[in-house]
Amino acid sequence: MQSSFALAHLICVRGAFLLAMMTTAVAGEPLHETEHALYTWKWAGDDVKAFRGDDESPQYLSAGVPMPPLTGAEKTRGFVVFQTHWMTRSFPITVPTRDQISDRIDMAAAPGEFEPATFLVRPQKDLKRFSIAMAGDLEGPGGVRIPAAAVDFGVVNGWAKYGNYYTPIRTVIAPILKPVDIDADYSEQFWITLEIPEDARPGVYKGTIDILVGGSRAHELVLEIEVFDIELLEPDAAFGMYFDHGQIPAQWATADFMEKYYRDMVEHGMTSVTMYCKHGRAADGSKFVLSGAAARELGIDVDNPPNPGYYGFDQEVVYDFAHNLEFEKTDPRYPVGLDVMMERAGRVGLLRRDIPVLYVGGAIDYSWIEPTWKRLNIPWPGGTPNAVECRVVADRARARGWPELLFYLMDEVGGIHPHWGDRMMLWKRQVIRTLHDEGVRTVNATGHLYANQEYKKWYAKDRELGKHEVVVNEQGEIVDELLLETLYHHLDVCLFSTTMGAEARVFDRMRAMDKPYWLYNCAQPALHPQVDRFHYGLYTWRTGARGFFYWHYAATPIVKDGKRYWPWMDEKGVFHNTGDVWPLYAGLSPMGPVPTISWEAVREGVDDYRYLLTLEKLIERARRGGDGGAKQLADEADGVVEAMMARIPIEADRPRHRDVGAAAVRALPDVTVGDYDAFRRKVADLIVQLR
């Protein structure tokens, strides 16, 4: 049984694998346009709303909010610059408060960090050819400088429509390739990303941002960055993104593009990734292998098969790691096999020997898989790996010095189904056992908690539903205990759904068994930066998880009338939308990945984790060998972290803990955007004191 969320992720991961296998020869996919043109949307109205829930009315933004009183200089200039927190959504009708209007932008970061900030421009008259640029380098203590080139500007002009969120919303940060025109009473949002050099000297650096209108300097902003006297540790957790390059336009999935995506992941704090690859075929050229004995058991006539070329009978598996055999030879993705992907990922520093990579390859030889699942009389468990093939792939990883590959099982398969759930778990355990016999480890994404009403809805037509015993927890949720026992005693690494699997008692038992667990989320928080930062930072730390993954790195296509549609940005920096989109973290373009606010928030979450990790190691050092003052400071630091963690329930992503109001879905409604920054600042100060 699958909840709507579980079903969505099952379709995502398993469907991605099957879709890639069915891909036909293509030299480059067309980028279709639709009538849905969110990019031209400007004004609020009935289209700008947030749904609180299925049975509640939408809430609307307020139009016609008056501007605060302006100074004479502001009136003469014809526009104001105002600031909101970068995690706070803004819209064209957003009107500043008086205290938000400012000519200063203040930032703080450690050496090596990328730090974001944002500001908005709201004119009282039409502005033509508006642009921004650094007037020079940022100057710090003793005349040291951060070069102007370290400051990257963008305009947040990529719109997206997604689920229970304001529609449309700004998300893609496009490069400013030419001056922009801004209409009167239209709040245009600009973005700053400042890369602090690794060797930056601690202290305060100041620079000036020139604002030009019509090519002439009309205003200036002070940009000030405090560089902490801190050396942040690299994360020790597996932070990654599901990334199936069969889900993006073929022409943008070549080896060179893949290297750009991997570099982008490194720059956003990722330490792991998924590898989707079909690694071989039958010796006679057939797609898959089936033994003659298995064919006879299945009733397949080997001399006159129903689908010639699908199964090669009694054939050997021929491995080809240079190519991705999910695709035809004419497809740009065909030359991007496992060797190529791993080499490109390693080249840019994404691979770490101490952190595994997820391998999603399915099977070539189905001689054991096909008859076994049919004997168990269960639904087709797509994506099941073949144990011998996994061992061959793992041997290649070891021989080439790659990180360990964790082999991905059937996606989100549980034991909650009233008729075949127990047999599905028997199947899952048998598959895991075959892989363990070949000396490889397994990983699986799953959830074990279901709303009672949702369970009944899925099986409403089952007349005997009431006769099936289920386990119900204190919150009234149905618990898949058969799945949990499989996870405890068979699976090597479990990816728990934050909305269906994050449970304190389960994590406690996992830790007691010294069993690693990671977390994942499929599309739930997409486009809300506070949730993205929370997941990869404070939440990962709070739960003790050893990794966190999102589905999916780039927007997956919407399929209409047999055509695939993506949101994408063209060479002119114009964002093209297709209506509702799947998760949008890195935007797509012919130049490579394009940043989004949510993707920047993921990086900030990883940085939160790095600050906490650095502080933890210093606390441990102080308690081992420090004097009385150092130990007292270590206790104080520990208390600061514990106080923040006490505000975060393990079940933070369960519906009862979420705010789905007008500000869109976000975890921890009582933790403000300012709280995140204040906590990081306190941690930074403690790091400096404990060094």
Q: Where are the domains of the chain?
A: 49-227, 281-319
> What is the average pLDDT across 24-33?
66
pLDDT band at residue 451, thresholds of 50, 70 and 90? confident
pLDDT in the model for residue 534: 94
Whether pTM exceeds 0.85: yes
Rounded-to-integer distance, Cα 417 and Cα 83, Å: 51
CA distances from 305 to 290, 297, 452 (A): 12, 14, 45
pLDDT band at residue 583, thresholds of 50, 70 and 90? low
pLDDT band at residue 53, thresholds of 50, 70 and 90? very low
Q: Is 407 helix (H, G, I), strand (E, B) or coil?
A: strand
> What is the average pLDDT across 133-137?
99
Q: Which of 4-18, 119-133, 395-409, 478-492 has the lowest mean pLDDT?
A: 4-18
Rg (CA), the chain: 27
pLDDT band at residue 219, thresholds of 50, 70 and 90? very high
Give the pair of three-digit tokens for residue 16.
């991605």
Rounded-to-integer distance, Cα 197 and Cα 203, Å: 13
pLDDT in the model for residue 26: 47
pLDDT in the model for residue 237: 99
Q: Is the pLDDT of residue 641 over 70?
A: yes
Q: Is the pLDDT of residue 332 over 70?
A: yes
Q: Is the pLDDT of residue 164 over 50?
A: no
> What is the average pLDDT across 412-427?
92
Give one word for 176, left, alpha or beta, with left for phi > 0 and alpha for psi -120 to 50.
beta
Closest CA relative to residue 620, chosen from 589, 158, 557, 612: 612
Q: Is 114 helix (H, G, I), strand (E, B) or coil?
A: strand
| Region 49-227: CATH code | 2.60.40.10
Rounded-to-integer distance, Cα 60 and Cα 44, Å: 9
Q: Is the pLDDT of residue 10 over 80?
A: no
Give the pair of three-digit tokens for residue 389.
């093939």
Name the DSSP class of 417. Answer: -
Q: Is the pLDDT of residue 82 over 80?
A: yes
Give the pair of three-digit tokens for residue 568.
């994408």
Rounded-to-integer distance, Cα 587 and Cα 582, Å: 12
